[in-house]
Amino acid sequence: MVFVMDHCKTGVYDNALAQIRKAYKFIEIDENTVKLLESPKEIFMASLAVRMDNGKINVFPAIRVHHNDILGPTKGGIRFHPDVHADEVKALSFWMTFKCAIANIPFGGAKGGVAVNPKSLSLRELEHVSRAYMEAMADFIGPDKDIPAPDVYTNETIMGWMMDEYNQITRKQNPAVITGKPINLGGSQGRRVATALGGYYVFRELVKELGLDKNITIAIQGFGNAGKNMAKFLHEEGYKVVAVSDSHGAAYKKDGLDITSIAKAKDARVKGMPSKISLCDHCEGATEMTNDTLLELDVDVLIPAALENQITKENANNIKAKMIIELANGPTTKEADEILKKKGVTVVPDILANSGGVIVSYFEWVQNKYGMYWTEDDVFKKLEEKMMTSFSQVFHSMKKHKVSMRTAAYLVGLKRIKEAIEAKGGHEWLSK
């Protein structure tokens, strides 16, 4: 497991801790609580041995991290990506703890992943990796312990395979063990677009607060599930999305892109498999550029919806957008955050902006528990209420303490976690 632990992509967890430490001085908090918050509760690692189509065995490093479960069973996605490593997954589980606290849902934070390039796998190999992950993690998760969900390069088909594997292992029907499943396996209406829709609700409220109109220009880095659906919502509401990108590159068109046709082209893939289609091939009249160039475009709003550490000290001074909506997890480094603050850029942090996914995952878990299911309109209405409340509390905290929206969000979450730790009492310490 050296590959996962010692991959060169490090420092993500330090970046996460640097973000919360800015909030400590605004709240009374003792060192024991700080220790609990800054240390993951437990980490499980495994090697997944999978027989490939050519008959050979490949071994893929896998990991699952439980950061904190003071508010309830842990919750967090599973990503399939060649750069998955422990430092990253620890950070992602940390952010999930605070997403759940800010949204005021009864979950703690978790995250998991497999170091694999899913685009290099056949459909059969992808299913075997998915089932192998669940087989390895079966004792570490459960509907009342840790509930996984989709993340980067995983989707509802993969969640369905994993749920089926867990059910075979436990010899029970456990729909609540995983969320983001297909509808016919107990998935929730609206889950597929939840992250993007939650981000759109936050965007809409901030636009109102800042007094902006629909003439603003928007660039979106990343055209996976979250980025694609965010682009569609904005396009349908009359906003001008002038640039989008995927792993192959970016496309820019000053007068706005035809998001509907681009999304349709990207969706043309084998069910369950990540898209191998380049959106650059389907953006008529657009200028091709790199993902890095997209970040520095002269637009009003930038929406990073790809991976971590995209906005750094190297490019933050070149960012021209006045508003950033972090639909990705951890797209801004701590150094870049300071630069953007000095430039007067309004940054809506990931732990608020992309919390729609975990909120509707919570709704799915509740529906599975009760065996009663809501309509899409019901789900969207409940999501909107949650996002509006979270935004209002964070925005109020920002104004009250005169801090960035990121620090304000951590303050909202930190207060709830601190109160839960204090309410739990001293059983753990008295028994030592």
Predicted pLDDT at 428: 56
Q: What is the DSSP letter of 316?
A: G
Cα 238 to its chain centre, rounded Å, is 26
- Range(s) for CATH 3.40.50.10860 in the chain? 2-17+28-187
CATH number of 2-17+28-187: 3.40.50.10860
Structure tokens belonging to residue 415: 């207060």
Pairing of strands 323-325, 301-304: parallel
The architecture of the domain spanning 188-432 is 3-Layer(aba) Sandwich (3.40)
Q: According to the model, what pLDDT value does residue 426 have?
A: 57
CA–CA distances in Å: residue 290 to residues 63, 223, 232, 276, 336: 31, 14, 22, 17, 20
pTM comes to: 0.91
Residue 272 has a pLDDT of 64
- Kindly give the parts of the chain with pLDDT less than 70: 1-10, 268-277, 280-282, 425-432
Domain with CATH 3.40.50.720 in the chain: 188-432
What is the per-residue pLDDT for 4? 46
Contact 105, 70 (CB under 8 A): no
DSSP assigned state of 82? T
Looking at residue 102, its pLDDT comes to 97
Catalytic residues: 111
Specify which residues 62 forms β-bridges with.
46, 114
As given in the structure block, the two tokens for residue 116 are 């694999």
